[in-house]
């Protein structure tokens, strides 16, 4: 369940508040967290369906064609004449760091009623992946209805994230920045990530994964609350945009198709995919 397009701006570094700097390059592309995650799983051979609303505009029509070429099922994408296609504006520094501003557009029009018409899709699926790019009430409806394994990627982070969201998702997955906002713990290293996981489990999460960029990820669950650190392979980051989506898409694929693999090994492979 997701939103759509993005504009990328590249510069030597990210500007400070109120500062204007020269960039190196600008490009537009297709993206959105859920879409990127769908594509990542589809590239591994997974059968994926994207639930999204797009604007009935140039971007919306081109985006559907783009997804179809990548073997993502687009039957549940609606083109809305009264909305523009959702956009994310992304600034990327030479270090790979980025800033992202999201304008929901048509994806903000997804409603619980919209989700309730998709019972056949939800019944057929093994994995449901949601984010906070879509209206919370629609996301809650999808998580309540779905009976398989659900992943909530709580991005963009919100300080007062609905506790029902935390409890409904089988797996709650966030990066260090999102974990800091939601758990109220400054996640600056592995030990702080373990503390944040403890807080999130107390809030009702079933399983928590916190990704730590180039360092890897930490995870724990209510059934085994001892947090485990999974290191990532060492690489030099060029652009971290989409790394978290590659992680989630790979994890979703492995949960669906590699049921006998341990969670630690699944997270290790997802970390490797995110670093490529």
pLDDT of residue 170: 98
* pLDDT of 238 higher than 60: no
Cα distance between residue 251 and residue 248, in whole Å: 5
Sorted by where each begins, the domain ranges of the chain are 5-274
> Is 245 one of the catalytic residues?
yes
CATH superfamily of 5-274: Ribokinase (3.40.1190.20)
pLDDT tens digit sequence for 184-198? 999 999 999 999 999
Contact 144/168 with Cβ under 8 angstroms? Answer: yes
C-alpha closest to that of 6 among 32, 26, 24: 32
* Model confidence at 1: pLDDT above 60: no
In this structure, how many other beta carbons lie within 10 angstroms of the beta carbon of residue 53? 28
Q: Assign 3-class secondary structure to the chain.
A: CCCCEEEEEEECCCCCCCCCCCCCEEEEEECCHHHHHHHHHHHCCCCEECCEEEECCHHHHHHHHHHHHCCEECCCEEEECCCCCCEEEEEEECCCCEEEEEECHHHHHCCHHHHHCCHHHHHHCCEEEEECCCCHHHHHHHHHHCCCEEEEECCCCCCCCCHHHHHHCCEEEEEHHHHHHHHCCCCCCHHHHHHHHHHHHHCCCCEEEEECHHHEEEEEECCCCCCEEEECCCCCCCCCCCHHHHHHHHHHHHHHHCCCCCHHHHHHHHHHHHCC
Q: What pLDDT is recorded for position 239?
A: 53
The residue with greater pLDDT, 253 or 159, is: 253
Residue holding tokens 């520094």? 93
List the catalytic residue out of 245, 260, 265, 272: 245
pLDDT digits (tens, 9 = 90+) for 45-69: 999 999 999 999 998 999 999 999 9
In this prediction, residue 96 carries a pLDDT of 83
Q: Are 59 and 69 in contact (CB under 8 A)?
A: no
Q: Are 151 and 170 in contact (CB under 8 A)?
A: yes
Whether the predicted model's global pTM rises above the 0.75 cut: yes
Tokens representing 93 are 């520094």
> Rounded to whole angstroms, how far apart are CA atoms 271 and 224?
21
Tokens of 276: 């490529």
């Amino acid at each position: 369940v997701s939103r759509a397009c993005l504009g990328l701006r590249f510069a030597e570094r990210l500007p400070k508040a109120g500062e204007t700097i020269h960039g190196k390059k600008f490009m537009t592309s297709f993206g959105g967290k859920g879409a990127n995650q769908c594509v990542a799983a589809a590239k591994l051979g997974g059968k994926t369906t994207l639930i999204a609303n797009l604007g009935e505009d140039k971007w919306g029509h081109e985006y559907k064609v783009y997804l179809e070429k990548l073997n993502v099922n687009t039957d549940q994408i609606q083109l809305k004449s009264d909305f523009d296609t959702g956009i994310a504006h992304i600034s990327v520094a030479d270090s790979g760091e980025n800033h992202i501003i999201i304008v929901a557009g048509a994806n903000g029009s997804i409603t619980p009623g919209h989700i309730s018409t998709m019972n056949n899709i939800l019944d057929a699926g093994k994995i449901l992946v949601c984010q906070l790019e879509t209206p919370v009430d629609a996301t809650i409806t999808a998580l309540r209805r779905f009976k398989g394994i659900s992943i909530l990627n709580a991005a963009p982070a919100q300080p007062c994230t609905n506790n029902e969201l935390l409890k409904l998702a089988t797996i709650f997955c966030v990066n260090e920045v999102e974990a800091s906002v939601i758990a109220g713990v400054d996640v600056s290293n592995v030990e702080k990530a373990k503390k944040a996981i403890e807080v999130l489990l107390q809030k009702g999460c079933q399983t928590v994964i916190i990704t730590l960029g180039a360092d890897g990820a930490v995870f724990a669950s209510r059934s085994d609350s001892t947090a485990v650190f999974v290191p990532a392979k060492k690489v030099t980051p060029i652009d971290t945009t989409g790394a978290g989506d590659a992680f989630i898409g790979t994890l979703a694929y492995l949960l669906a198709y590699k049921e006998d693999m341990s969670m630690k090994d699944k997270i290790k492979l997802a970390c490797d995919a995110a670093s490529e």
